[in-house]
Amino acid sequence: MIEYLIDGPLWYFSLAVFCIGVLWQLARIVFARSKTDLSVARGSATGGAWRNVFSRFVPHHEIAPQIRIQVVAGYLFHLGLFALLFFAAPHVLFLEENLLGFGWTPMPHWAFIVSAQFAFLGLIMLWLRRVVNPVSRLISTLDDHVAAILTFVVMLTGCFALLEGSTALRLLHRFTVEIWLIYFPFSALMHTFTFVPSRAFTGAWFGRRGIDA
């Protein structure tokens, strides 16, 4: 019964909430009304947008020493998670059989394990920085903590099910993924999709005013 629920209705429900929720949130951003900028343009908004999207991958030299651990842990976590999510053999097989109908070459098992280790280390350090640093702690909301802990739980149940020999452990992992998918569109996890338009918007604003930042 539980197996049927997790593999069937709950999976489709969570997937629907995720897709509709993400599209709805992106549509809200795209169609949001903003005041028309009547000032005389001092530079290119488009150029500023593109510049900002890419320049923010590297921290500004003036603040780099203060946020070094955040940058290193951030890259460890995000690159590790990306590799796990899209190139781990069980995930590639799952996406092929359940969603896409086609697959691609997965990474070798050792790379899968190393990616998971990077992702775990990065996530633990990022969350600790959020808690330990007074400024980060003050600007963090409950949602930030829930999003980090939920992502950690999903990764941990995935790690528990690595042997791929137990239906119960597989179901536990899938159940936590479904909870994560439902939570995703209404949380800070949306930054997966919004970081590019957010950077572009700020960059365009800067570019139009001739701000080099």
Residues that bind other proteins (CB under 8 A): 69, 113, 116-117, 120-121, 124-125, 128-129, 132-135, 137-138, 156, 159-163, 165-166, 168-169
Least distance (Å) between residue 189 CB and other proteins: 22
Least distance (Å) between residue 113 CB and other proteins: 6
Looking at beta carbons only, is 129 or 209 nearer to other proteins?
129
Looking at beta carbons only, is 114 or 190 nearer to other proteins?
114
Q: How far is CA 91 from CA 16, 53, 55, 113, in A?
A: 19, 29, 32, 13
Residue 110 has which token pair?
């050792």
User: Which residues, in sequence order, are CB contacts of 81 under 8 Å at separation 6+?
Assistant: 115, 119, 123, 151, 155
Looking at beta carbons only, is 117 or 192 nearer to other proteins?
117
Q: What distance in Å separates the CA atoms of residue 115 and residue 81, rounded to the nearest whole number?
A: 7
Neighbours of 204 (CB within 10 A): 21
Looking at beta carbons only, is 101 or 165 nearer to other proteins?
165
Least distance (Å) between residue 147 CB and other proteins: 18
